[in-house]
Chains A and B, each alone.
Chain A
């Protein structure tokens, strides 16, 4: 139905999203700002894919 789907698995975190809160926030921020055109779309959100997001 859409080819613009990205799915991330955030390694080492659970439902609370607390252990890697900065990474979760960064993921959302980059996605939203990329979608509205404030920032360039990140490569991961330009391409349909399945990602694992290891700790930085």
Chain B
């Protein structure tokens, strides 16, 4: 992303566990957020803490992995601005710059699930996992070509709609 300064600037990558100089694969974990909010993504909210255990578990199970939490610019998706998606795309570019040619797996929850599904067409992405993605029926599927996709949804979810996940999961099939 033009103008991105590593360190405290947002968006940024937050490494989970000891950083590996030569990871065999990279995992970017994107947490949830609100439909609309320009609040800073700096504060670690419940949606962040909900996904951190997944990131730590992956780091423990795959010491050869480089695992990163995504820190958003904003708390919300924000309609046509698609801020979360743009942040995922920016940090994918940053990962490719740091580790050219290393395969990338995306994991996202809720707003982050939508963001990773929509950003899955980026170079280097091989797979995407969306947990309770917040989909609305307008989300494209063409970018999933050639990627492995896992979508999981709790059947008692009241915040996002499992039926949208099902429709989305079925849509990409040839």
Please report whether the interface of chain B is mostly helix, strand, loop or mixed according to DSSP: mixed
The distance in angstroms between the C-alpha atoms of A45 and B151, with both chains bound, is 11
**By DSSP majority rule, is chain A's interface helix, strand, loop, or mixed?**
mixed
Determine how close the nearest CB of chain A comes to the CB of B122; give it in whole angstroms: 15
Q: B24 on the interface (CB 8 Å rule)? A: yes
Q: Is the CB of B158 within 8 A of A14?
A: yes
Least CB separation from B169: chain A residue: A7
Given contacts A2-B173, A7-B165, 16 further A-B contacts (CB under 8 A): A1-B144, A1-B172, A5-B150, A7-B152, A7-B169, A8-B151, A8-B152, A15-B110, A15-B158, A17-B109, A17-B132, A25-B54, A31-B150, A32-B62, A45-B148, A50-B166
Give the chain B neighbours of A14 by CB distance below 8 A: 154, 156-159
Cβ of B11 within 8 Å of any chain A Cβ, yes or no, is no
B156 lies within 8 A of A3 (CB): no
Across the interface, B132 reaches (CB within 8 A) one of A15, A25, A38, namely: A15
The yes or no answer to B105 lying at the interface (CB within 8 A) is yes
- The answer to whether A2 touches B146 (Cβ under 8 A) is yes
Question: Which residues of the partner chain A approach B24 to less than 8 Å between Cβ atoms?
Answer: 36, 38
**B-side contacts of A9, CB under 8 Å:** 152-155, 162, 166
Question: Count of B residues near A, CB < 8 Å?
Answer: 50
In the docked arrangement, what's the CA distance between A14 and B151, Å? Answer: 14
A17 and B154 contacting across the interface, CB-CB below 8 Å: yes
A3-46 interface code vs B (CB 8 A; 1 in, 0 out): 11111111111111100110011011101110110100000010
Q: Are B173 and A12 in contact (CB under 8 A)?
A: no
A3–B149 alpha-carbon span in the complex (Å): 9
What residues on B are CB-neighbors of A50 within 8 Å? 166, 169-170
Given A8-B151, A29-B58, check contact A2 B172 (CB 8 Å).
Answer: yes
Residue pair A17, B147 in contact (C-beta under 8 Å):
no
With A2-B147, A24-B131, A32-B129 in contact, do A7 and B155 touch (Cβ < 8 Å)? no
